[in-house]
């Protein structure tokens, strides 16, 4: 979701000499170029422009650099055509040989081309060539390398930008520009290190305004509005009309739902920097990152209206319309954006995705609209619609709220498509996302039976309610935690569970306190922290609900919708301050898992009694000593009954009992596993087998039904389920399974149609059975069993077929 | 599949006349030739595929052991259990292959089904297309000459080696089925096709449910498994098997009704027919069975040009006729 575009704009407004000069205070340098930069840094644009013009006189040493500086000011002032003409003139001079043998002027020419790229993306290529030419002139020139790196990063090419920043820092570890570039590169990669890096840059160059604005942006991400204000004040104190700083101030107001302050900041930018089109795109981007999709649309629309040539605002308008299910309108804007900037990979990916979705089908049923490939829609539909309706009714009751319908549920059978749909780029490692009225999920076809898609759908539908109730103002920790709690309420085996890594992280203080949980989502400090944050957030919701009831949850949702922040709601709804709640919650978590922490040896770093029993039990089992194994494994299970992941005591005990023929005991262990963790397919499969062995076909069918929430595309599960259902006389249910098998495109299509015909015949629908057996025989005419079934069905329908009736020329019954 | 030995003397009397199911002399022959593996892993792998095929031929398909020949590719696997291996203890070389094929040709009669399977490595070098064996490699041209002695037999040749694609052109003859593991000489990584070709005989590959495995069904099944093995591992597919049976020297990747090849292979069986009679009445039922199957095939080809209800009605009429005829066949075979 995050892109480095804002930073790109800011860094381009930076002149190499200005920060150093501006920091010298009131001294007015004689060099007009240096003077211009200092004046610009102080917000005195008219004077700065004058100085640039002086510095751009024919014959001046750094004429092109001055022209580019002047063009920037002109552009901000809303004099785009004059600015562009100035830049073109600079480039024409360069082509005529002015400055071609000087690195600084070549870099300036490159910057001119890069600025022109905003309205003509082909100029980015020209800029690239010029920056590379500058580097050839002086391979050690830091500014040339940084200019190239900035350009690459602005075009999403961090893979090549990052080494350039590192190269400069290798020579000069204290180059603030390079550190600033590195920070943006890290931000692009979602690394929390960006914060430290930009702070280091600012230690070295406190007046590096773009870096400070960038720092404010990072603080905004973590909800540190005070910090944002402090950093922006420092910039605006020097340059009261700094458009980047004013933009982030507007963004902060937006995220605090202060409409008046938002509009005031927007007005401040438009009145002082009418040419600063980046503002709308930046604000739309920040809004979308905070799931304020409708705000993003409104802001981007304003941007597209005021700056029709701004492809970025139009792209954001298109993408966010698409997110809210307004595909046709979104596509129109995306196509316009693509015409303006065909190099925008985000737009290109999204348009490709939308084009690919032409092959998707739309199935409407009840309150929902399923959008998926035909096969996925057919296979998932029978389970999806009832589950979604159940979830909707449950949430309606629980929250006393009804969101608008239909809710659109999209399934993507390629992870890359889902990733593009969600963030515009490939590589996102999530299972589902809710944009409010649109829920987007990775198809279980792509998940190899590893995830319970029913629980994922339930989770995302919970978000749909939260986002709708709060006008998307609910913070991430609250909605994620609540959605996990909802999963547990629907099915104890659904949703994130406690595990050893989580408890270790919590015990080591690696997770933020209750009042700062959002930080773990926005800028995780270690791999896996986001997953832990989901669970920790669910514990906080549990804590709130247990102590204050569902009314408090509703009240907080309502409060968020009114624009109140978490701290205020803690006080108003829970009657506690953030600090007190942090303490109370820490005590709650510690108490709830004290025994697990103790058994796992996490408290004192000592040995784990649980693990000792588990390992010894496993060893005894492997060595053929089931009695000893049983005692040890039962002990381990007793010590930490919460842990049921693969290779848990439950699994080993189930294996042990099954091996001994103790079916009922094996069943008990397996039932415990799936009650704790319903994401595991193997125990459900084994359960179904054992239930059948124990003469419990209904339970076996139930286990296989649950297995279909993990792998609905497994034809074997469906065939097994259909057999059980047929044996139980439930032919209607078996028909559903048989149909799904056909939707899966079985290798043995004739056999699949034949078995469907058998089920239909059993269900008393001889006419439908006749149609399916004909399909089977169309594929395999010599299929003796199917030929016999055809005769039998026809007999049931009243046909009298016999050789005597004229086998090769039977009467026309049709 | 019927247990023909128990039905050998079964007699059925129908209105149409006397029908006698027969147990004919076995007219099926299998020749498996191993290639040199170059390293123990491949020696073992090729040997395992080859011996599995030999075992399936004898135990599952019921081919007379005397009609099954295996020439191992490596001395590392040649000695040993002997039963399913070269009687002489030889390994495959140009000379021993020639001798074995000559023996097999003499042991067979015109009209017999002969399947020759090559399992090993291959190379395509400087225009010479080779199957790697001990000593000089076996060229496609030499193999083509050796196979000339099978004139009149219903011959099928499978080259499961790498770079085997060009063998299609060299061996292609009208009425002969030629299968290669790869589409061209440049597909030179050790293919997995051979393993899937062998296991197809034991898996549910009988897609048309006629109770017999045709070479095309075996090819299709193996081809699907090859595709799955690459897709499952998310690897780029490095082999594309070919089947040629129209003698044009160009194989098809997806033989079938819409392709140039596949018609002969669809009727090329290693398993025996479900029903066999030597009485006129029995043969009459079988002939009617075949006529009906042919009419259904013709009807399916016209499907796109007919109104759907007409097509379905005609299909059902023919299927009912076929079903009734099948009842008569079963009654005749097992009164």
Reading across the β-sheet that carries B242-244, which strands appear in turn? Answer: B68-71, B28-34, B113-119, B154-159, B177-180, B242-244
Contact A784 B326 (CB under 8 A): yes
Contact A778 B315 (CB under 8 A): yes
B272 domain residue, yes or no: no
CB-based contact A314:A27 (threshold 8 Å): no
- Same domain (yes/no): B196, B49: yes
Residue in the block written with tokens 């057996």: A773
Q: How far is CA B148 from CA A221, B26, B101, in A?
A: 79, 22, 10
- Same domain (yes/no): B107, B191: yes
Nearest alpha carbon to residue B131 among B85, B99, B171? B171
Cα–Cα distance for residue pair B258/A392, rounded to 1 Å: 49
Cα–Cα distance for residue pair A59/A53, rounded to 1 Å: 12
User: Is the model's pLDDT at A720 over the cut of 60?
Assistant: yes
Compare all CA atoms of chain A with the CA of B225 and give the residue at the minimum distance: A747
Interface of B with A (CB under 8 A): 204, 207-211, 224, 288, 291-293, 296-297, 300, 309, 312-313, 315-328, 330
- Same domain (yes/no): A212, A150: no
Taking only the tens place, the pLDDT of each residue in A332-387 is 999 999 998 888 888 999 999 999 899 999 999 999 999 999 999 999 988 999 99
- Same domain (yes/no): A231, A121: no
- Give percent above pLDDT 70 in chain A: 94
CA-based torsion, B103, B107, B112, B117: positive or negative: negative
CB-based contact A782:B209 (threshold 8 Å): yes
What is the Cα Rg of chain B in Å?
21
Phi then psi dihedrals of residue A431, to 5 deg: -105, -30
Q: How many CB atoms lie within 10 A of CB A509?
A: 9
What is the Cα Rg of chain A in Å?
32
CB-based contact A484:A538 (threshold 8 Å): yes
SS3 state at A373:
strand
The boundaries of the domain holding residue A222 are 208-275
CB-based contact A372:A443 (threshold 8 Å): yes
User: Is the model's pLDDT at A426 over the cut of 80?
Assistant: no
Contact A810 B320 (CB under 8 A): yes
Cα–Cα distance for residue pair A341/A312, rounded to 1 Å: 8
Q: How far is CA A690 from CA A454, A657, A684, A685, A730, in A?
A: 24, 11, 10, 9, 20
- Same domain (yes/no): A250, A128: no
Closest CB from A748, A788, A808 relative to B323: A788
Nearest alpha carbon to residue A777 among A793, A797, A764, A765? A793
User: Is the model's pLDDT at B84 over the cut of 50?
Assistant: no
Helical H segments across A222-344, by residue range: 225-238, 243-255, 259-272, 278-289, 293-306, 311-323, 327-340
User: Is the model's pLDDT at A583 over the cut of 50?
Assistant: yes
Q: What is the mean pLDDT of residues B95-115?
A: 94
pLDDT band at B88 (very low <50, low <70, confident <90, very high): low
Contact A790 B323 (CB under 8 A): yes
- CB pairs A-B closer than 8 Å: 89
Q: What is the mean pLDDT of residues A129-143?
A: 95
Contact A814 B313 (CB under 8 A): yes
Contact B317 A790 (CB under 8 A): no
- Same domain (yes/no): B285, B145: no
Q: What's the pLDDT score for residue B78?
A: 58
DSSP E strands in A118-277: the ranges are: none
Taking only the tens place, the pLDDT of each residue in B274-326 is 788 888 888 899 999 989 988 998 999 899 999 999 999 999 999 999 999 99
Taking only the tens place, the pLDDT of each residue in B139-171 is 999 999 999 999 999 999 999 999 999 999 999
Least confident of A219-223, A297-301, B24-28, B90-94: B24-28
Residue in the block written with tokens 């060539």: A129
Residue in the block written with tokens 């010479």: B128
Residues in chain B: 335
Token digits of residue A784:
């003796």
Taking only the tens place, the pLDDT of each residue in A239-273 is 999 999 999 999 999 999 999 999 999 999 999 99
Q: What's the pLDDT score for residue B13?
A: 26
Q: How far is CA B128 from CA A327, A587, A596, B5, in A?
A: 58, 79, 70, 48
Minimum distance, in Å, between the CA of residue B316 and any CA atom of chain A = 7
A810 domain residue, yes or no: yes
SS3 state at A686:
helix
Burial of A81 (0-12, 13-18, 19+ CB in 10 A): exposed
Compare all CA atoms of chain A with the CA of B330 and give the residue at the minimum distance: A784
Q: What's the pLDDT score for residue A130?
A: 96
The domain boundary, picked from A154, A183, A198, lies at A154
Contact B315 A774 (CB under 8 A): yes
Cα–Cα distance for residue pair A666/A750, rounded to 1 Å: 38
The domain boundary, picked from B267, B290, B305, lies at B267
Cα–Cα distance for residue pair B138/A699, rounded to 1 Å: 61
A563 domain residue, yes or no: no
- Give percent above pLDDT 90 in chain A: 78
Long-range own/partner contacts, residues A359-368 (CB < 8 A, 24 or more apart): A360/A410, A364/A406, A367/A392, A367/A405, A367/A406, A367/A407, A368/A392, A368/A405, A368/A406, A368/A407, A368/A408, A368/A409
Residue in the block written with tokens 């040009």: B305
Cα–Cα distance for residue pair A370/A373, rounded to 1 Å: 10
Q: What is the mean pLDDT of residues B227-255?
A: 86
Measured between beta carbons, the chain A residues lying within 8 angstroms of B324 are 791, 801-803, 807
- Same domain (yes/no): A9, A146: yes
Q: Tell which wins on pLDDT, A70 or B17.
A: A70
Chain B interface includes A810 (CB < 8 A)? yes
- Same domain (yes/no): A78, A143: yes
What number of CA atoms fall less than 13 Å from residue B72's CA on the CB side?
A: 25
Taking only the tens place, the pLDDT of each residue in B175-184 is 899 999 999 8
Q: What's the pLDDT score for residue A17?
A: 32
Contact A787 B210 (CB under 8 A): no
Strands B12-14 vs B154-159: parallel, antiparallel or unpaired: unpaired
Q: What is the mean pLDDT of residues A10-15?
A: 30
Q: What is the mean pLDDT of residues B86-90?
A: 60
A267 domain residue, yes or no: yes
Mean pLDDT of chain B, nearest integer: 85
Burial of A687 (0-12, 13-18, 19+ CB in 10 A): buried
B11 domain residue, yes or no: yes
Query: What is the number of structural domains in chain A?
Result: 3
Closest CB from B210, B317, B327 relative to A782: B210
CA-based torsion, A115, A120, A124, A127: positive or negative: negative
Contact B211 A748 (CB under 8 A): no
Least confident of A223-227, A588-592, B119-123: A223-227
- Same domain (yes/no): B96, B139: yes
CATH number for B146: 3.40.50.1460
Instruction: Return all residues near B304 (Cβ < 8 A) that are at least 6 apart.
Output: none
Nearest alpha carbon to residue A211 among A258, A160, A248, A241? A248
User: Is the model's pLDDT at A431 over the cut of 50?
Assistant: yes
B150 domain residue, yes or no: yes
User: Is the model's pLDDT at A3 over the cut of 50?
Assistant: no
Taking only the tens place, the pLDDT of each residue in A152-191 is 998 888 999 999 999 999 999 999 999 999 999 999 888 8
The domain boundary, picked from B267, B288, B305, lies at B267
Reading across the β-sheet that carries B122-125, which strands appear in turn? Answer: B122-125, B128-131, B138-139
Query: What is the number of structural domains in chain B?
Result: 2
Cα–Cα distance for residue pair A479/A541, rounded to 1 Å: 9
Measured between beta carbons, the chain A residues lying within 8 angstroms of B323 are 787-788, 790-791, 801
Mean pLDDT of chain A, nearest integer: 90
- Same domain (yes/no): B74, B100: yes
H/E stretch holding A725: helix A715-727
Nearest alpha carbon to residue A11 among A123, A111, A158? A111
Cα–Cα distance for residue pair A160/A170, rounded to 1 Å: 16
Q: How many CB atoms lie within 10 A of CB A662?
A: 17
The domain boundary, picked from B244, B267, B290, lies at B267
The boundaries of the domain holding residue B289 are 4-22+277-333
Taking only the tens place, the pLDDT of each residue in A524-578 is 888 889 999 999 999 999 999 999 999 999 999 999 999 999 999 999 999 999 9
CATH number for A260: 1.25.40.10
Q: What is the mean pLDDT of residues B65-89?
A: 69
Measured between beta carbons, the chain A residues lying within 8 angstroms of B316 are 774, 790, 814
Instruction: Return all residues near B214 (Cβ < 8 A) that are at least 6 apart.
Output: B208, B265, B266, B267, B268, B269
């Amino acid at each position: 979701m995050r892109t480095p575009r804002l930073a790109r704009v800011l860094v381009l407004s930076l002149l190499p000499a200005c920060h150093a000069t501006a920091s010298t205070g009131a001294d007015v340098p004689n060099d007009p170029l240096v003077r211009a930069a200092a004046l610009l840094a102080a917000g005195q644009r008219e004077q700065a422009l004058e100085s640039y013009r002086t510095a751009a006189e024919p014959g001046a040493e750094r004429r092109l650099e001055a022209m580019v500086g002047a063009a920037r000011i002109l552009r901000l002032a809303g004099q785009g055509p004059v600015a562009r003409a100035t830049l073109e003139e600079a480039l024409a001079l360069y082509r005529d040989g002015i400055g071609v043998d000087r690195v600084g002027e070549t870099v300036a020419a490159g910057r001119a081309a890069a600025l022109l790229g905003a309205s003509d993306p082909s100029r980015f290529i020209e800029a690239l060539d010029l920056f590379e030419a500058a580097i050839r002139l002086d391979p050690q020139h830091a500014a040339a390398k940084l200019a190239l790196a900035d350009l690459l990063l602005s075009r999403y090419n961090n893979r090549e930008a990052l080494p350039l920043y590192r190269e400069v820092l290798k020579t000069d570890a204290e180059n603030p520009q390079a550190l600033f570039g590195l920070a943006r590169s890290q931000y692009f990669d979602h690394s929390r290190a960006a914060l430290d890096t930009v702070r280091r840059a600012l230690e070295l160059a406190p007046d590096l305004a773009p870096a400070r604005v960038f720092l404010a942006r990072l603080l905004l991400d973590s909800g540190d509005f005070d910090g944002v204000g402090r950093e922006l004040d420092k910039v605006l104190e020097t340059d009261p009309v700094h458009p980047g700083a004013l933009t982030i101030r507007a963004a902060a107001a937006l995220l605090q739902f202060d409409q008046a302050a938002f509009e005031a900041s927007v007005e401040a930018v438009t009145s002082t920097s009418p040419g600063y089109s980046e503002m709308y795109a930046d604000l739309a981007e920040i809004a979308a990152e905070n799931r304020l999709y409708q705000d993003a649309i409104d802001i981007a629309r304003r941007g597209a209206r005021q700056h029709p040539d701004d492809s970025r605002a139009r792209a954001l308008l298109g993408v966010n319309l698409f997110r809210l299910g307004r595909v046709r309108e979104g596509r129109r804007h995306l196509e316009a954006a693509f015409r303006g900037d065909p190099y925008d990979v985000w737009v290109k990916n999204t348009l490709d995705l939308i084009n690919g979705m032409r092959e998707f089908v739309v199935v409407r049923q009840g309150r929902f609209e399923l959008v998926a490939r035909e096969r996925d829609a057919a296979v998932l539909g029978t389970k999806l619609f009832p589950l979604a309706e159940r979830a909707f009714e449950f949430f309606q009751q629980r929250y006393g709220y009804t969101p608008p319908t239909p809710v659109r549920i999209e399934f993507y059978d390629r992870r890359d498509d889902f990733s593009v749909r969600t963030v515009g780029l490939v590589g996102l490692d999530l299972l589902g996302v809710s944009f409010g009225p649109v829920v987007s999920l990775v198809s279980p076809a792509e998940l190899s039976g590893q995830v319970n898609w029913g629980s994922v759908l339930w989770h995302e539908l919970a978000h749909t309610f939260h986002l709708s109730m709060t006008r998307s103002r609910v913070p991430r920790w609250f909605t994620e935690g609540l959605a996990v709690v909802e999963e547990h309420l629907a099915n104890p085996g659904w949703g994130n569970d406690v595990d050893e890594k989580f408890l270790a992280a919590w015990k080591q203080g690696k997770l933020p306190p209750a009042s700062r949980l959002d930080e773990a989502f926005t800028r995780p400090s270690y791999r896996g922290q986001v997953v832990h944050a989901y669970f920790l957030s669910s514990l906080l919701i549990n804590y709130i609900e247990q102590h204050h009831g569902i009314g408090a949850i509703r009240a907080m949702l309502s409060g968020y919708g009114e624009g109140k922040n978490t701290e205020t709601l803690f006080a108003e709804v829970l009657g506690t301050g953030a600090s007190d709640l942090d303490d109370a919650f820490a005590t709650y978590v510690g108490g709830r898992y004290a025994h697990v922490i103790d058994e796992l040896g996490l408290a004192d770093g000592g040995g784990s009694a649980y693990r000792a029993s588990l390992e010894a039990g496993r060893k005894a089992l492997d060595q053929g000593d089931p009695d000893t194994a049983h005692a040890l494994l039962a002990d381990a299970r007793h010590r930490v009954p919460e842990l049921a992941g693969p290779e848990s005591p439950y699994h080993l005990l189930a294996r042990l009992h099954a091996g001994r023929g103790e079916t009922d005991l094996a069943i008990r262990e397996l039932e415990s596993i799936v009650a704790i963790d319903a994401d595991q397919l193997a125990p459900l499969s084994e359960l179904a087998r054992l239930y059948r062995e124990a003469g419990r076909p209904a339970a076996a069918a139930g286990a296989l039904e649950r297995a279909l929430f993990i792998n609905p595309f497994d034809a074997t599960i469906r065939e097994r389920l259909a057999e059980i259902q047929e044996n139980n006389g439930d032919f209607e249910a078996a028909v559903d399974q048989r149909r799904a098998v056909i939707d899966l495109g079985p290798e043995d299509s004739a056999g699949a149609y034949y078995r469907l015909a058998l089920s239909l015949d059993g269900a008393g629908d001889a006419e439908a059975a006749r149609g399916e057996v004909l399909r089977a025989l169309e594929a395999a005419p010599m299929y003796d069993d199917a030929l016999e079934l055809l005769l039998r069905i026809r007999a049931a329908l009243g046909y009298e077929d016999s050789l005597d009736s004229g086998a090769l020329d039977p009467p026309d019954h049709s | 599949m019927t247990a023909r030995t128990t039905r050998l003397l079964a007699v059925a009397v129908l209105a149409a006349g006397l029908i006698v199911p027969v147990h004919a002399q076995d007219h099926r022959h299998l020749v498996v030739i191993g290639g040199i593996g170059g390293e123990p892993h491949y020696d073992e792998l090729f040997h395992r595929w080859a011996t599995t095929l030999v075992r399936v031929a004898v135990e599952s398909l019921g081919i007379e052991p005397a009609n099954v020949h295996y020439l191992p590719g490596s001395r590392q696997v040649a000695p040993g259990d002997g039963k399913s291996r070269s009687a002489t203890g030889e390994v495959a070389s140009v000379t021993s292959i020639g001798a074995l094929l000559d023996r097999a040709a003499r042991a067979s009669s015109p009209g017999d089904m002969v399947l020759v399977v090559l399992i090993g490595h291959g190379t395509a070098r400087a225009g010479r297309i080779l199957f790697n064996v001990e000593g000089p490699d076996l060229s496609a041209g030499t193999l083509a000459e050796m196979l000339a002695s099978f004139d009149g037999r219903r011959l099928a040749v499978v080259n499961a080696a790498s770079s085997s694609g060009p063998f299609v052109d060299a061996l292609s003859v009208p009425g002969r089925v030629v299968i290669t593991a790869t589409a061209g000489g440049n597909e030179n990584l050790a293919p997995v096709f051979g393993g899937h070709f062998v296991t197809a005989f034991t898996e549910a590959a009988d897609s048309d449910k006629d109770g017999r495995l045709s070479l095309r069904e075996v090819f299709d099944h193996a081809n699907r498994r090859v595709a799955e093995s690459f897709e499952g591992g998310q690897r780029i597919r490095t082999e594309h098997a070919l089947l040629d049976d129209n003698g044009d020297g160009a194989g098809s990747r997806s033989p079938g009704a819409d392709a140039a090849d596949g018609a002969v292979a669809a009727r090329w069986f290693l398993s025996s027919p479900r029903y066999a009679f030597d009485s006129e009445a029995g043969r009459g039922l079988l002939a009617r069975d075949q006529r009906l199957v042919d009419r259904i095939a013709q009807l399916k080809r016209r499907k796109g040009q007919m109104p759907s209800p007409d097509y379905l009605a005609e299909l059902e009429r023919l299927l009912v006729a076929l079903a009734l005829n099948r009842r008569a066949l079963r009654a005749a075979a097992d009164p």
